[in-house]
Amino acid sequence: MATTATMSKRSLWGGGVAPFKASYGKLMMWFFLLSDAFTFSGLLITYAFLRWSAPAYVGDPKDFVFSTEYWPIPEKVYEAFPGFHGVELPLVFVGLMTFILIMSSVTMVLAVEAGHRMDKKNVVKWMLWTIIGGFAFLSCQAWEWSHFITGTDTATIGDVVLNGIWRNNYEIFGANLTFNQYGPPAFAALFFFITGFHGFHVFSGVLLNVLIFFNAANGVYERRGHYEMVEKVGLYWHFVDLVWVFVFTFFYLI
């Protein structure tokens, strides 16, 4: 410490010291996350661009019906909840998913905090809660996707191309990559791509968390003398939560 304090600014970047006071791995995780943020920004730009150049529904939201002609109101699409068939619960399920992911982020912070104190027992405990939260979120997403794909009780009438044949006034149920009952084809395609890409990040995060959990439980980090791996994977996990905050706003609220 004494040597770094007397060093000039020039020699700070001359090697031998860590100017950012962070390890190589942590810095690289930050820069990876920055590049990943660019990827998600690209997806969100695509979404917003297609959405705001598509015809909007400007009538009374109470009279809203699905049509392939205009972009749907999100609250009318995401209103299902497991076990409440036919009950309109707009955004309740996605609220639960947000809560689960934020909670698992909190347990991750607690695991990192326990790691700073070399508290192996608590690192293992909080990592386990984080993994449970991750699996809970993925399960919710699996249900949401299957509901989105299956669709509601009422079909939307639209002209579609099915197996290469043009079909007029076709009864559309649910969604696939070529057409869907909720709105223009791009709506479902973007839903699958963006929530799918995020879900894949969550899945990778859960795998990393499981790895860290077993390493921590087996005392790998205790023998190493620090729990920095928990911190690095924690950064990734918070990033997944951060992306969800944006997906939640752009896809479900606006």
Site for other proteins in 45-74 (CB under 8 A): 45, 48-49, 51-61, 63, 65, 67, 69-70, 73
Cβ nearer to other proteins, comparing 139 with 154: 154
Task: Check residue 178 and report its DSSP letter.
Answer: S
Nearer CB in complex with other proteins: 101/175: 101
Q: Which residues contact 248 (CB under 8 A, 6 or more apart)?
A: 94, 98
Record the tokens describing residue 192, joined without a space: 């699958």
Which is closer to other proteins, CB of 148 or CB of 232? 232
- Residues 6 or more apart whose CB falls under 8 angstroms from that of 237 comprise 104, 105, 108, 130, 134, 205, 208, 209
Name 172's bridge partners. Answer: 156
Q: For helices 120-150 and 185-217, give the axis angle rounded to 10 degrees.
A: 160
Q: Are 29 and 235 in contact (CB under 8 A)?
A: yes
Site for other proteins in 203-242 (CB under 8 A): 219, 222-223, 225, 234-235, 238-239, 241-242
Shortest distance (Å) from residue 89 CB to other proteins: 12
Number of residues that bind other proteins (CB under 8 A): 72
Cβ 219 to other proteins shortest distance, Å: 7
H/E stretch holding 156 reads strand 156-162
Q: Are strands 156-162 and 165-172 parallel, antiparallel or unpaired?
A: antiparallel
Minimum Å gap between C-beta 56 and other proteins is 5
At its nearest, how many Å lie between other proteins and the CB of residue 164? 22
Length in residues, the chain: 254
Q: How far is the CB of 21 from other proteins (least distance, A)?
A: 5
φ/ψ of residue 55, rounded to 5: -60, 135
Spatial separation of the C-alpha atoms in residues 70 and 55, rounded to whole Å: 5
Q: Which of residues 105-164 bind other proteins (CB under 8 A)?
A: 105-106, 108-110, 113-114, 117-122, 157-159
Identify whether the C-beta of residue 136 lies closer than 8 Å to the C-beta of residue 102: no
State the minimum distance, in angstroms, from the CB of residue 142 to other proteins.
22
Shortest gap between Cβ of 150 and other proteins (angstroms)? 22
Q: Are 235 and 30 in contact (CB under 8 A)?
A: yes
Residue 102 CA, distance from chain mean position: 11
Looking at the Cβ atoms of 99 and 214, the one nearer to other proteins is: 99
Site string for other proteins, 87-116 (x = CB under 8 A): ---xx---x--xx--xx-xx-xxx--xx--
Using CB under 8 A, pick the residue from 23, 75, 135, 217 that binds other proteins: 75
Site residues (CB under 8 A) for other proteins, limited to 12-31: 19-22, 27, 30
Residue (136 or 146) nearer to other proteins, CB: 136
- With respect to other proteins, which residue has the nearer C-beta, 146 or 153? 153
